[in-house]
Structure 1
Amino acid sequence: MPSPTPSIPPADKGPVRRSAGRPRDPAKLEAILDAGWALFLERGVEAVPMEAIAARARVSKGTLYASFVDKTALFEAAMLRETERIEVAQRFAATEVFDAPLSDTLRAFGIGIMNFLASDQAIGFYGALSADVRRHPDLSHAFWELGPGRTRANLATILAKAGERGEIEIDDPGHAAEALFGLWQGFSNLQLALEGGTDDARAAIADRVERGIAIFMRAHRGGRP
């Protein structure tokens, strides 16, 4: 069965300032990024010295500085890697199987993205690093384009195609995507941020997505039974 991916222009990630002498061992580069990201989540960017990142990654300071000229460059690279992971997490849901009912496609999309948003890595990012990202306009834009912006565009594409096939009546796919996403998310983001109730929030994802789809479909079926 064909599974076309919506045509969405890639985000402009902007330059990532790395030193000329990147380590030849890709495993060391990944270790540096893993260590830096973990420490940024634990302490915030400003409070993490480069020496701590080198120690956590088990590389020398020379290897660290051969990879990234400074901590800001390392943060940019780690942040862009995380946005790419967000894209991968929803990529399967951004494809549409033509033989499947719209509700099945939306269910896969909703459960996939909501599971990601309730993951430890997503919660950690929004809790610890959102302020740091806002201090880097280019990085903030890249995160929006590859994260929330792409989620909205992918969902809008699915809804627009369903409208073209006559499955739903829809005027503005973008606004409809925002409304549906709001039904899925509800207050769960506040619950995760304020209470840390990850188990309860994760357990409720499937039911929340199902209810949101039911409400959305009733609103957009028009005169269809």
Structure 2
Amino acid sequence: MTLAEPAIRRGRPRDTAKDEAILLAAGDLFMEHGYEAVSVDAVAQKAGVSKATIYARYADKDALFAAVLRQECERAVSPDSFFPAEDQPVRETLILLATRFLDLVTGEKAMQMNRVLVAETARAPRMAELFYETAVLTLKNRFAEWLRVETARGRLHVRDADGAAWRYLGGVKGEAHLRASFGLPPIPPAQLKAHIEAAADEFLRAHAADPAPNKAV
């Protein structure tokens, strides 16, 4: 299956309000009911537009679903969602990253998206690939680049930024993500906070910056 991009049309500028309404309506319906149960007619009705308006933008329902997925992923992993100013202490940044990452991957919308993607994997494996490339890899790559920058600044010493990023994110997810996946009660806030702080401290011990060389007397 090929994930078609929205068609490019000449003539009058597209109505961006309709664009937003279509994606919002489609996203709500796909996440609530799953891909198969949602029709383009239902999206058009919820968005307050005609089917022709949707088909002028998307070749088919697959293309519309891909656009919804891409928009959600890009919104979720925008740089401002994770990293603060450059002068933020490293430990605070790691804690902030972990907290926001857990909010992202264990939130209700994330769980809905995960269920839809799992259901669609056999029919359209490219959908899962799109999510992995747009959300997961983008986040990991941005985190790894931050680790490289902090290493160059002398605040960390990370030899394998990509591997370190995977290990940190994977360790942070841990029990919290499993509980969310199975619909179990979440970890109590104080316990979750302690887990995140411990993960940050372990990361800092493993990747402590080299001490400055002693100056000759």
TM-score by length of 2: 0.80
Residue 220 (structure 1) aligns with: 207
Q: Which runs of 5+ in 2 are unaligned?
A: 212-217
Residue 26 of structure 2 contacts residue 65 of structure 2 at CA under 8 Å; is this kept in 1? yes
Give 1:201 deviation, angstroms: 6.7
Structure showing greater Rg: 2
Q: 1:157 to 1:41 in 2, by over 3 A?
A: same
1:40 matched to 2:40: no
In 2, Cα distance between equivalents of 1:62 and 1:170? 53
1:75 matched to 2:62: no
| SS of match in other structure, 2:37 | coil
Residue 6 of structure 2 contacts residue 57 of structure 2 at CA under 8 Å; is this kept in 1? no
Give 1:213 deviation, angstroms: 0.3
Task: Give the aligned length.
Answer: 208
Give per-residue Cα distances to partners, 1:55-114, cap 9 Å, x unaligned: 2222223323333232112112111111211222x43434651x3321122122222222
Relative contact order, higher structure (CA 8 A, sep 6+): 1
Q: 1:189 to 1:31 in 2, by over 3 A?
A: same
| SS of match in other structure, 1:117 | helix
1:108-127 to 2 correspondences below 5 Å:
108-127=96-115
Residue 19 of structure 1 contacts residue 68 of structure 1 at CA under 8 Å; is this kept in 2? no
Cα RMSD (Å) of the superposition? 2.9
Residue 182 (structure 1) aligns with: 170
Higher mean C-alpha deviation, range 122-131 or range 19-28: 19-28
2:145 partner amino acid:
T
Identity among equivalent positions (%) equals 30
Q: 1:102 to 1:222 in 2, by over 3 A?
A: closer
Q: 1:78 to 1:136 in 2, by over 3 A?
A: same
1:103 matched to 2:96: no
| SS of match in other structure, 2:59 | coil
In 2, Cα distance between equivalents of 1:204 and 1:131? 32
Give 1:125 deviation, angstroms: 0.5
Residue 163 (structure 1) aligns with: 151
1:43 partner amino acid:
H
1:101 partner amino acid:
P
In 2, Cα distance between equivalents of 1:188 and 1:132? 24
Give 1:159 deviation, angstroms: 2.0
In 1, Cα distance between equivalents of 2:13 and 2:125? 28
TM-score by length of 1: 0.77
Residue 118 of structure 1 contacts residue 202 of structure 1 at CA under 8 Å; is this kept in 2? no
2:142 partner amino acid:
N
Q: 1:223 to 1:79 in 2, by over 3 A?
A: closer
Residue 44 of structure 2 contacts residue 54 of structure 2 at CA under 8 Å; is this kept in 1? yes
Residue 82 (structure 2) aligns with: 93
Q: Which runs of 5+ in 1 are unaligned?
A: 1-13
In 1, Cα distance between equivalents of 2:38 and 2:108? 20
Residue 83 of structure 1 contacts residue 143 of structure 1 at CA under 8 Å; is this kept in 2? yes
